[in-house]
Chains A and B, each alone.
Chain A
Amino acid sequence: MEEKDLELNNTQPIDEKFADIGESVQETESKVTWKDELVEQEEIEETVDQKIERRLEELERKRKEELEQNQKPKKRALWSNKKIKKFDKIRYREQKCKEWEVRIVQQNMRDDKLGLYIHIPFCDRKCDYCDFVSYSMGLDAQKEFKEALFKEIDMYRKQCAKMVFNSIYIGGGTPSVMYEGFIYELSRKIYSTFHFEGDIEFTIEVNPNSVTSSKLMEYLRAGVNRVSVGVQCIDSKILANVGRFQTIDNIDNTFNLLHKMGFINISADVMIGLPRQSLDAVRDTIEYLIERNVKHISVYTLQVEENTQLYKNIKMGIIKPLGDNACIKMYELVNKMLKQAGFVRYEVSNFAIPTYESRHNFKYWKDVDYLGLGVSAHSFLEGYRFNNTPRLDEYIEKINNNELPVIDKEFIRDSERRTEYIMLSLRLATGLNLKKFRKRFNEDLLKSRANQIQTLIKGGYVYIEDGFLKIAPQHFYVSNRIILELL
């Protein structure tokens, strides 16, 4: 009976029914329908505020109840609790996950609406390993950037008039360092320029250091319904070693606030392979995130890029990088833990409780267009890939001259698209749709790469299921090599 219910009801996450794990927050998701808001902004805003108030009260009450219940030491009793039931639960969940996976992915694959990416090029401080574009500058620079960004949005108004969007992703940098009010203003600007349909996935990246309750409130008002927290690792010493300064208190505070505000769709970024990171530190981090009821986790292995402080530090011998074997152990541990906790790895480095996959990121992996705005942002629009200048001053200057700040623009021919298709679709757990590939590129991969695929299948690296070519999950960590064989 319950099962049937579940299948019919797409919108209700499975884990809420079957997971008495962690908190099960029963509120409806904070999807704000912007159309109404535009009509009667003032009124809606009020109700939103009221809504938040009410929610805060409710949450507070729940927390108190929970705290009372859990007065006895129940630290990390996540799955050690109710051990007997655990295995049944896991098995059941695995089966369900599989079904969900197919359904959600099919949904996402059919998705042909555009995604909008906004790059915020500011940070409090640039982490040593980071080679993305970010500046640590004051309010004036932020305001100047805002002016330029809004102008850039206007520049696309005409071109995008007939396009339909359904996701927004504000990344960086650190979007949460922007002055208060910016995100709200930005959301109004976006809503009034681009055309959206259906429910929107609206993600913002935040840094535990710069989150405040008033900012989160502002995000809610702006329509943000997905928050990605840059946790990386809960051991502050390990992070400090690579130039990232945040404490467990910051992180705790962030999650407390998020939960208080009623955010459910919370994602966290985790890094493994950091210098001096131990297996225990990784275990603690993952356990912590599961405990905090995070729905989506992106796990990245540290890559030492040239032109970063970390690269210099390693070159100078100040920091010793972690060996491959240690990385692999961490990676395997993460896989195991997240699987047990009900996460599905739907992409090489992305794990989600089913239905919480990132819609926006799917667009990168699929044949779907997206528009990137802001310094160094990348776009894939009408067959072209292009990206903006990585220099803030050049970005502002060009826009002030009424020019697009695009520096590289390339039409993606079929041969390149083919490479991308193989590279991107094999990152997904669903794999490469052989039939679609044949249609799209007029090439039967099973014939044109017969030898390679045969060898890979024999070695257990890939398998074919229901017309999809997939990388075996235990070999995701060498996916690059496998993809190379197929190009």
Chain B
Amino acid sequence: MDRQDRIRNFCIVAHIDHGKSTLADRFIELTNTVAKRDMSAQLLDSMDIERERGITIKLTPTTMKYNYKGEEYTLNLIDTPGHVDFSYEVSRSLMACEGAILVVDASQGVQAQTLANVYLAFDAKLEIIPVLNKVDLPSADCEKVIKEIEDIIGIPAEDAPRISAKTGLNIEEALQRVVENVPPPHGDINAPLKALIFDSYYDSYKGAVSMVRIVDGKVKAGDIIKFMQTGKSFEVTEVGIFAPKNVECEILRAGDVGYICASIKNVSDTKVGDTITLLENPTPMPLDGFKVAVPMVFSGIFPLDGSKYEELKEALEKLQLNDASLHFEKETSTALGHGFRCGFLGLLHMEIINERLEREFNLDLITTAPSVEYKIKEVNKEAYLISNPSFMPSVQSIESMEEPMVKMEIITPPEYMGNIMDLCSDRRGEYKNMQYLDANRTKLSYIMPLNEIVYDFFDKIKSLSKGYASMDYELCGYKESDLVKMDILLNGDICDALSIIVHRSKAYGRGRSLCEKLKEVIPRHLFEIPIQAVIGGKVIARETISAVRKDVLAKCYGGDVTRKRKLLEKQKEGKKRMRKLGSVELPSEAFISILKIDD
């Protein structure tokens, strides 16, 4: 048997929480890839934040050896994220594989992201192996779920392995199915090198590390490689595989999944989706790259301490290497100083990036309210996009404005349908279609403005349906809309970081609740502070923070000065964390309070 015939590259796709990462753990255990004592649950979720939240954010590859019918197979598994925000990560891992295990929860059945992810796998022309997970649960109904997979997705599932990743039931059967059904990689080891970068990260010792799938040819340390998109060349210092920690090896050959280090200092030189070839014997045709991830949600990120701007810049650059979907550019705000306007795939992505910046780079940040990207047509000018409300021109010069729309699919048990439909129409959703998947689930389709779902739509859907409904959306173009820019005035000064673009019909309610929220979070000052929401010079809502009239420390009883000093020092620390806008001091919560309002 040929070497290449004994390689299988596959990934696992599923709806969030259907058990991908746990199944990956079982595979790793079964193949003894990791010694028992080093094993921990959700092994491939290496980031703290992934473990804490119980979700997978980054794709993580691992190489396993598996004996089947007397042959030793090399299985390259790529665990992928399931949350809707990270479908971009999914699509990238799919490109490095020939097959995908489709995990479906036998008690929950097909969910919105099961569909979204399985369509991505179809697009990548992967062999799909359906697997029913959690069959040990009393609520599992395998027959029903099999029927769903066949009806809704349209692939045969009659003899799908019925497993329980938790208890370890029938795991081997699933692995055997991978060996039998997933086709081996069909590259030519003698052709010029062609390697696809499906991910990269920064290592402080080795520089930028590219995670690659070798399509054709071979590569080893000492080779001079060339990045076809950037045109730059480097000498390879190390190649290796993931087991799942990096393990150096001599050579990577067609069909392999591994990493390449080449002392690359600059993070932007290793673009995800680029093709690597050899300088001396290049391939004439690069591989198809990935479609560039389109950021949908934008927000300003500013260092709490203005002098940390450079650190923030470096941190973002490093994260970007690890997370190709993160976009950022410089932004200057009168309230917050220098920072960056960042583009994210969604709100969860935004939260995660924030948390990673704070944790991994030890930065204290202020994040402004998320916005989407609007298209503005000014009189006698080309239409252009803006994502920062403070760049919106005055009303007079705007001819028309468009906002991004999404195609929203929500799968829900019928009893919550009413609530969800109310929510959707409240969020300016346009009803398109309803489809009964079975007696217990209905698929609702809407066209909705993205602007209405970026804040809390997902949380709302979950709470309205007691967690049973699932959703997925994709961008479907722009639509003209009656949008206005709402500014917030604090003590008469505009706070640019609090400006938002909002639909006219929503402006009044949003303005009022934002003023109320700000009144809660801004501490009282020595003077009275009016908070006003203003549209084009007209005040639509107002709250007033009354002045402090009593703030005096009691007597220094018996000379206990220390306690009072410490109290003052603590208050002073608190003040340091405030941003000064004109005469008003704002706590950093004020800038995200906009997220927390309920209108």
Contact of A324 (CB < 8 Å), options: B525, B549, B558, B571: B549
B555 partner residues in chain A, CB cutoff 8 A = 298, 300, 349
Contacting chain A: which of B120-128, B495-503, B560-568?
Answer: B560-568
Is A342 an interface residue when CB atoms closer than 8 A count as contact? no
A301 and B575 contacting across the interface, CB-CB below 8 Å: no
Is B456 an interface residue when CB atoms closer than 8 A count as contact? no
What is the minimal beta-carbon distance from A204 to any residue of chain B, in angstroms? Answer: 13
A423 and B550 contacting across the interface, CB-CB below 8 Å: no
Bound together, the chains give a CA A344 to CA B559 distance in angstroms of: 22
A419 and B565 contacting across the interface, CB-CB below 8 Å: yes
Interface residues of B in 525-569 (CB under 8 A from A): 525-527, 548-562, 564-565, 568-569
B564 partner residues in chain A, CB cutoff 8 A = 423
Bound together, the chains give a CA A365 to CA B555 distance in angstroms of: 11
A480 partner residues in chain B, CB cutoff 8 A = 551-553, 568, 571
Per-position binary interface string of chain A over residues 419-445, scored 1 when its CB falls under 8 Å from any chain B CB and 0 otherwise: 110011000000000000000000000
Per-position binary interface string of chain B over residues 261-277, scored 1 when its CB falls under 8 Å from any chain A CB and 0 otherwise: 00000000000000000
Contact of B559 (CB < 8 Å), options: A327, A364, A459: A364
B549 partner residues in chain A, CB cutoff 8 A = 324-325, 328, 477-478
A455 and B550 contacting across the interface, CB-CB below 8 Å: no
Per-position binary interface string of chain B over residues 152-180, scored 1 when its CB falls under 8 Å from any chain A CB and 0 otherwise: 00000000000000000000000000000
Bound together, the chains give a CA A349 to CA B554 distance in angstroms of: 8
Most chain A beta-carbon neighbours within 10 Å: one of B526, B558, B561 = B558
B181 partner residues in chain A, CB cutoff 8 A = none
B552 and A477 contacting across the interface, CB-CB below 8 Å: yes
**Count of interface residues, chain A, beta-carbon cutoff 8 Å:** 47
**Count of interface residues, chain B, beta-carbon cutoff 8 Å:** 26
Is B67 an interface residue when CB atoms closer than 8 A count as contact? no
A377 partner residues in chain B, CB cutoff 8 A = 558
Contact of A301 (CB < 8 Å), options: B552, B559, B572: B552
B552 and A478 contacting across the interface, CB-CB below 8 Å: yes
B559 and A117 contacting across the interface, CB-CB below 8 Å: yes
B557 and A324 contacting across the interface, CB-CB below 8 Å: no
Interface residues of A in 432-477 (CB under 8 A from B): 455, 459, 461, 476-477
B575 partner residues in chain A, CB cutoff 8 A = 484
Per-position binary interface string of chain B over residues 566-588, scored 1 when its CB falls under 8 Å from any chain A CB and 0 otherwise: 00110110010000000100000
A-B contact count (CB 8 A): 97
A420 and B561 contacting across the interface, CB-CB below 8 Å: yes
A378 and B552 contacting across the interface, CB-CB below 8 Å: no
In the complex, residue of chain A having the shortest beta-carbon distance to the beta carbon of B523 = A481
Bound together, the chains give a CA A171 to CA B526 distance in angstroms of: 35
Is A372 an interface residue when CB atoms closer than 8 A count as contact? yes
Bound together, the chains give a CA A325 to CA B571 distance in angstroms of: 23
A132 and B557 contacting across the interface, CB-CB below 8 Å: yes
Contact of A478 (CB < 8 Å), options: B550, B554, B565, B569: B550
A408 partner residues in chain B, CB cutoff 8 A = 562
A372 and B569 contacting across the interface, CB-CB below 8 Å: no
Contact of B550 (CB < 8 Å), options: A117, A328, A482: A328
A380 partner residues in chain B, CB cutoff 8 A = 559, 561
Is A483 an interface residue when CB atoms closer than 8 A count as contact? yes
Most chain B beta-carbon neighbours within 10 Å: one of A298, A328, A459, A478 = A478
- A residues whose Cβ falls under 8 Å from a Cβ of B: 117, 119, 132, 171, 298, 300-301, 303, 324-325, 327-328, 331, 348-349, 363-365, 370, 372, 376-380, 385, 387, 408, 410, 416, 419-420, 423-424, 455, 459, 461, 476-484, 487
Q: Contacts A300-B555, A380-B559, A420-B561 given; 4 further ones with Cβ under 8 A?
A: A377-B558, A378-B561, A408-B562, A480-B571
Query: What are 15 A-to-B residue pairs whose CB atoms are below 8 Å?
Result: A119-B558, A132-B558, A325-B549, A328-B549, A331-B550, A349-B552, A364-B559, A379-B559, A420-B565, A424-B561, A461-B526, A477-B550, A478-B549, A478-B552, A480-B552
